[in-house]
Amino acid sequence: MKSFWDQRYSDKRYAYGKEPNAYFKEKLAGLPPGKILLAAEGEGRNAVYAAAMGWEVYAYDFSEEAVKKAQALAREKEVVIHYQLGSLSDLTFEAEFFDAIGLIYVHFPDSIRTQNHSKLVSLLSPGGHVILEGFSTNHPTYQALNPQVGGPKNPIQLYNTKKLKQDFSSLTLIELEEQKIHLEEGYCHVGETTVMRLFAQLR
């Protein structure tokens, strides 16, 4: 899997573009800047945007090519991000360190999904927020018609309301819904599909 992402990110083009995810941008606008963690952040589009909005930004990804691209984008936009090469298991932050966590198209397989989401929530300070957008279990129907829309091909990596309610039961769910949208993110997220969107606050 790491080799797949290294190959994708080695392209000079930004696979998902340089602009932030629309839902992430919308929800971040309503929060006061603080410390934010971007999980499996790839080429850095959301991390760089958050830094430009005054956040102290931390991110991680296990792809070396992703880290290089993200740091290049940060230099281009003249912002600073703290980007760690590694996986979630490599993080050493203290509990309750972050004011917000962004999970934008981070698709953990079911075997580790709940555990990983629980670990991420443990890093969230009381009153902190989670912003999540990911492909829903209805996504394969659209993916079959238009492979350019991207996304996991394995259904166990897709989201539905039941999974997200279970994983984030310790948070107040401000928003949780499936939406049909048209993606225009770089050259790897293009077309119509369905996504799950979650905006939640730690009680």
Residues 35-89 pLDDT 10s: 999 999 999 999 999 999 999 999 999 999 999 999 999 999 999 999 999 999 9
pLDDT value at 1 more than 90: no
DSSP type of residue 94: P
**pLDDT tier at 186 (50, 70, 90 boundaries)?**
very high
Predicted local distance difference test score (pLDDT) of residue 160: 98
Of 9-13, 102-106, 170-174, which range is least confident?
9-13
Averaged over 172-198, what is the pLDDT? 98
Read off the pLDDT of residues 123-144 as tens digits, 9 standing for 90 and up: 999 999 999 999 999 999 999 9
User: What is the structure's pLDDT at 114?
Assistant: 97
Of 42, 51, 57, 58, give the one whose Cα is nearest residue 91. 58
CB 75 within 8 A of CB 47: no
> In this structure, what CATH number is given to the domain that contains residue 99?
3.40.50.150
- Domain range holding 86? 2-202
Under the banding of pLDDT at 50, 70 and 90, the label for residue 183 is: very high
Question: Tokens 């629980």 label which residue?
Answer: 118
C-alpha dist (Å) from residue 53 to 33, 84, 102, 194: 7, 20, 14, 28
Domains identified in the chain, total number: 1
